[in-house]
Amino acid sequence: MRLHDKVALITGGATGIGSACAHRFAREGAHVVVADINPDGGMRTAESAGGRFIFCNVAIAEQCRAAVAESVASFGRLDILVNAAARLDGYANAADMTETEWRNHLAVTLDGVFYCSKYAVQEMLKTGGGAIVTIASVEGMIGAAGHAAYVTAKSALFGLTRSMAIDFGMHGIRVNTVSPGIIDSGRPDIDRLKQDPAVMRFWHDMTVLGRMGYPDEVASAVLFLASDEASYITGQNLAVDGGWTIGHPPVHRSFRE
């Protein structure tokens, strides 16, 4: 087991990628704490992963501090933090987005990672190290239309990750990001768009592998970076995107049909 007796706090763990990480970590021997604003989904994930659920709105610093503190109180330490919580609704361009929508997006997707990481690092420093893995996005790498706040927040995660990796590397704390591409995660917006054949064709054509990814495939990358197998990797971003960000297939599939 790659995470035997490790203690892992996973934000956004109620559904999708976060839930897949919780289950994968549990199978690898970790004690899992699921933090989310979705109590029903969070408790289901925690129960099936043999862990604990903590209600946590990551946009509120005190709730992040409490989630870290409760994780330590439950299992005695904190070895791994997975920042999977993000705000995903209300896409708009910069001209159309309201100031409130902008602030709400950054409060969850960026500030929440800072808050959780801040308090997790304080605990990891006490025990001689740990690993932080943040779920970023290919949209933070290359941009996307109509996703001004989401792209901004996800892009900023790369700078925060590199800064933390530099600041805490000598203390045995590794910090990395995973950037998923289009993942069949069960998100309502993804499920809705899947009903449109043109959208599905676009998604397939934009990837070298010609398909959507799955939460378990992202969880495998997160597991690797959180485990001792990645002991000499820090400050890096791993794209799990089917080749989306390396370029289009050599001949567009639409022209071959």
pLDDT tens-digit series, residues 45-70: 999 999 999 999 999 999 999 999 99
Both tokens of residue 178? 């995973």
* Threshold 0.75, pTM exceeds: yes
Q: E strands within 120-256? A: 130-135, 173-180, 237-240
Give the span between the Cα atoms of 198 and 215, in whole angstroms.
23
Closest listed residue to residue 84, CA positions, set 139, 153, 161, 14: 14
Class for the domain spanning 7-185+213-247: alpha beta
Tell me the angle at which helices 148-168 and 99-106 cross, rounded to the nearest 10 degrees: 30
What are the sequence ranges of the domains in the chain? 7-185+213-247
Query: Is 150 tagged catalytic?
Result: yes
SS3 54: strand
Task: Give pLDDT, residue 194.
Answer: 77
16-38 in b/e form (b: 16+ CB < 10 A) is bbbbbbbbbbbebebbbbbbbbb
What integer best gives the mean pLDDT of the chain?
93
- Give the pLDDT confidence score for residue 206 in this predicted structure: 83
> CB 213: neighbour CB atoms within 10 A?
20
For 78-115, the pLDDT digits (tens) are: 999 999 999 987 789 999 999 999 999 999 999 999 99
- Beta-bridge partners for 133: 82, 176
| Tens digit of each residue's pLDDT (9 = 90 or more) over 130-174 | 999 999 999 999 988 888 999 999 999 999 999 999 999 999 999
- The one catalytic residue among 91, 115, 119, 150: 150
